[in-house]
A and B are shown apart, each in its own frame.
Chain A
Amino acid sequence: NAGVMQNPRHLVRRRGQEARLRCSPMKGHSHVYWYRQLPEEGLKFMVYLQKENIIDESGMPKERFSAEFPKEGPSILRIQQVVRGDSAAYFCASSQQRNTEAFFGQGTRLTVV
């Protein structure tokens, strides 16, 4: 089991472009969480998904950000029309069930230039 895989590890986008961040959960895990860590700040919860469903998106910015976790394939965090303030490390975590231990990916470092 390769663990939670995030790709790309580093992503550079120009202002106005779209960023797509992928998270492949551990085998057998159907719960995925996304977090954002802005430079010099703590982690912030963004969204919690279970296969094909968004369970909690209370931490997602209202515009430009969306997330999905399709029946097949990785979970995707999509940021449209990126701005410099979106530059951050984005982490995902997966768990087998809602209340079981979650494992974190290595993160994607997004830089908007």
Chain B
Amino acid sequence: KNEVEQSPQNLTAQEGEFITINCSYSVGISALHWLQQHPGGGIVSLFMLSSGKKKHGRLIATINIQEKHSSLHITASHPRDSAVYICAAPSHPSNSGYALNFGKGTSLLVTP
């Protein structure tokens, strides 16, 4: 089983701050996922990445396959970024798709 660890568990930031959330996993994988869960409960897939870096708006995700580590960065944070951010990895190296093991999530609160 792929153990997925996230840090920090909770994060409070002021609007405009640069935010980093970290994720490590125990088993080599084909792709790592970052998800966002809104206060209302809905889930959005933010990134699926297998190497290097991806950027979408103010969100940047990076992955280091050798170190089994990924980071999610939010630049110029805004209160609407407040949500739980979840890292997930396939349960087995040969698995792909969305049969995933999930981290416990990072609860982010951005204050004005």
> What's the Cα separation between A48 and B44 when bound, in Å?
18
A107 located at the interface, meaning its Cβ lies under 8 Å from any Cβ of chain B in the complex? yes
Query: Chain B contact residues (Cβ within 8 angstroms of A): what range?
Result: 20 to 34
- Contact between B97 and A95 (Cβ–Cβ < 8 Å)? yes
A1 interface hit (Cβ, 8 Å): no
CB <8 Å contact, A42 and B104? yes
- Cβ of A20 within 8 Å of any chain B Cβ, yes or no, is no
How distant is A76 from chain B, measured CB to nearest CB, in Å?
A: 18
A31→B96 CA distance, assembly (Å): 12
Q: Please encode chain B, from 16 to 36, with 1 for each CB lying within 8 Å of some chain A CB and 0 for all others.
A: 000000000000001100010
Contacts of B41 in A (CB 8 A): 89, 106-107, 109
Residue A12 is within 8 A (CB to CB) of chain B in the complex: no
Chain A interface, DSSP helix/strand/loop, else mixed: strand
B101 smallest CB distance to A (angstroms): 7
Residues 49-91 of B, flagged 1 when their CB comes within 8 A of A and 0 if not, give 0000000000000000000000000000000000000101001
7 contacts between A and B (CB under 8 A): A31-B97, A41-B104, A43-B100, A48-B97, A99-B96, A99-B97, A107-B42
Closest 8 CB pairs of A and B: A104-B43, A43-B102, A98-B97, A33-B98, A42-B104, A102-B98, A56-B99, A42-B102
